[in-house]
Structure 1
């Protein structure tokens, strides 16, 4: 029984070698605004995703572009022998998740002596890159 568990662990380890992960925590942007930008690059080839983010007018795209460059560097560090995959356009954004981070609460004076709450939201972004499976691997 122990050998089967270790065999599965080795398979998971081998599968994880080709994927690269990058995280960005506590980005001072609301998660909704970040998700609008993240949706444009989900499932897109890496070089095209960099272009989309670079020429986007939305403010969160600046931070997301930097995070994607970090994920690419992580992928290159994990797969030094597969550098041609990046040039061929086989590396793509497998998943991109935007989760809600901590919310800073502030108080602002309102009419009639009331206090209005201001919620300054933040988010956490996770990017996972992978290599597109070729036609021979799918069969």
Structure 2
């Protein structure tokens, strides 16, 4: 089962990016990175086509995350899906699930099931921040006694 976390604000992304975070996905980070390297920097529609046609098991959770990030962009920011690109993608190792498998003569064998955390950030190419038009002029530097001079 895949847990998808949606945050409204990420301190690591800029204001024109929207992201989705999938945690504790049951696959190794190495196998997920093999897929992630193929979609980094591509457009949203092209990413969907690539993920639907690749024959790997890791494509399905990544496809769900891309859909979730696009839904966040459309709902939270009002971005157009046609102008979205995959700007940042990160795969980190998660916790390892450890299970015991019974073996002969009363022994046990340790089974390690790796998990990973995947973060996908989408960027809108047509987005223009309003901060550019609301810039104030900087105050003049009058030195260390500038606050005494009022005239």
Tell me whether the two structures share a fold, i.e. TM-score over 0.5: yes
Structure having the higher helix fraction is: 1
Match of 1:67 in 2: 65
Alignment of 1:117 onto 2:117: no
1:119 deviates by 1.0
Runs in 1 of length 4+ with deviation above 6 angstroms? none
State the number of aligned residues.
115
Could you say which structure has the greater relative contact order, defined with CA pairs below 8 angstroms and 6 or more residues apart?
Answer: 1
2:23 to 14, 25, 47: 25
Q: TM-score, normalised by structure 2?
A: 0.67
Partner residue in 2 for 1:5: none
Match of 2:55 in 1: 57
* Rounded Cα–Cα distance in structure 2 between residues aligned with 1:119 and 1:92: 35
Give TM-score, length-normalised by structure 1.
Answer: 0.72
- Which digits, 9 at most, give the CA deviation of each residue in 1:13-56, with x for residues without a partner? xx41x211101010011111111111111111111001100111
1:97-136 matches, cutoff 5 A:
97-109=90-102, 115-132=108-125
Per-residue deviation, residues 100-137 of structure 1 (Å, max 9, x unmatched): 11101123356787644221100110000112379xxx
Q: Unpaired runs of 5+ in structure 2?
A: 1-10, 128-151
Instruction: Report the structure number with the largest CA radius of gyration.
Output: 2
Which of 102-111 and 32-41 deviates more?
102-111
